[in-house]
Structure 1
């Protein structure tokens, strides 16, 4: 296997591997938008709740593309500072906090759009499975995993269909287990490993989340209709 049909098929392949781990009390957190179809399949296979993990970069004020920190959503918001960058540009945490607050407001806006103010799924004491459709640089995922580790999960698992081999090695130090189906040494972009890698719309994301919420709220098996 050197590519996936689409994100849903990649999610089913990941789910099969995760099921063999017999992870206790799993909770699936997907990075939108691309991680949501992957996470939906995993949550369905493991009979686990699905929630979003919303992460926003906080750029250096004079160089917005240079990440000085990241804000990570959840039961409570976490700010993960990049002390190396902040030292390089002479920024203090206090000076950066107003910019982090703006990104937190954007996170709250997106959560309201996607989840209609439904409460975040609790992660404390659960096996937390963090899912995306792939990893390129790993910067966003690194911040997310560091923030989640502070929330005292029983176990922290990273599950992605594809990521560069060196990124998998570096991120594995932040989690208890990594499941990654493809780890190419030569990596040019996540999309090259999917036949269908279309940009998901907000309505597609909401449909996946609503279907997963309905499944966990009712008895019986409710599947998303493609």
Structure 2
């Protein structure tokens, strides 16, 4: 498969593969920063609400790729625990919560930087499309799905332009709709799927959220 020109072209590819039942009654959640220039055009195309999911994984001691929990904020309802792994490692929720303190602080910092005083979109009872610019291992997206489900979403879909190797295996058996035009990509990194893959600055994330809040629809 040919590389995407940039994230905007990747968004177009995803739009072309969206199922008919994903429409303006969905919430599009982008994983910042790279998912924002992909998710914002999709939300505009659908006429759907747009937001970002500010998430940090809580890695297991000695193996940070194993996610003990996914943190989206400081409250007890904003930590989605991987109970099977917690039991396996002998860690109860209180211990994981204490272990998550640095990630909770980082989520708060990013919330203030990107969102300011604007509240996040509620997830309870919503249909949610989670978007990123690619999946390398699948662990971050799996944590995002876990957090969105814990937030009360009634249906979840995932849209990524590219997934490396067996990354999509992380989403199996999770009752999801997955849209991925380039699965099992034999690449060394997500950036190799793009001709242009610049860092996404904080200003782009802030502008996308401001545009979504105002309904102007001019996000990148």
Q: TM-score, normalised by structure 1?
A: 0.84
What's the offset of the Cα at 1:85?
7.1
How does 1:52-131 map onto structure 2 within 5 Å? Answer: 52-60=52-60, 63=62, 65=64, 67-73=66-72, 76-81=77-82, 83-84=84-85, 87-88=88-89, 91-131=91-131
What's the offset of the Cα at 1:197?
0.6
Aligned: 1:223 with 2:196: no
Q: Separation in 2 of the partners of 1:106 and 1:45?
A: 32
Q: Separation in 1 of the partners of 2:52 and 2:34?
A: 11
How does 1:22-37 map onto structure 2 within 5 Å? Answer: 22-23=22-23, 25-37=25-37
More deviation, 112-121/161-170: 161-170
2:210 equivalent in structure 1: 210
Q: Separation in 2 of the partners of 1:66 and 1:192?
A: 22
- Evaluate the alpha carbon distance shift between residue 179 and residue 165 of structure 1 in structure 2; reply closer, same or farther with a 3 A threshold: farther
**Equivalent residues of 2:86, 2:92 under 8 A apart:** no
Q: Separation in 2 of the partners of 1:128 and 1:68?
A: 22
- Evaluate the alpha carbon distance shift between residue 68 and residue 158 of structure 1 in structure 2; reply closer, same or farther with a 3 A threshold: closer
Aligned-residue RMSD, C-alpha? 2.5
Aligned: 1:45 with 2:40: no
**Equivalent residues of 1:158, 1:178 under 8 A apart:** yes
Q: Unpaired runs of 5+ in structure 2?
A: none
**Equivalent residues of 1:70, 1:140 under 8 A apart:** no
What's the offset of the Cα at 1:2?
2.1
Q: TM-score, normalised by structure 2?
A: 0.86
1:192 equivalent in structure 2: 192
- Evaluate the alpha carbon distance shift between residue 100 and residue 12 of structure 1 in structure 2; reply closer, same or farther with a 3 A threshold: same
Say which SS state the counterpart of residue 17 (structure 1) adopts. Answer: coil
Q: Separation in 2 of the partners of 1:30 and 1:190?
A: 16
Q: Separation in 1 of the partners of 2:88 and 2:124?
A: 32
Say which SS state the counterpart of residue 17 (structure 2) adopts. Answer: helix
**Equivalent residues of 1:79, 1:100 under 8 A apart:** no
Q: Unpaired runs of 5+ in structure 1?
A: 216-220
What's the offset of the Cα at 1:202?
0.8
Q: Deviations over 1:50-77 (max 9, x none)?
A: 111122122345x373545233327941
What's the offset of the Cα at 1:207?
1.7
**Equivalent residues of 1:127, 1:156 under 8 A apart:** yes
Aligned: 1:132 with 2:129: no
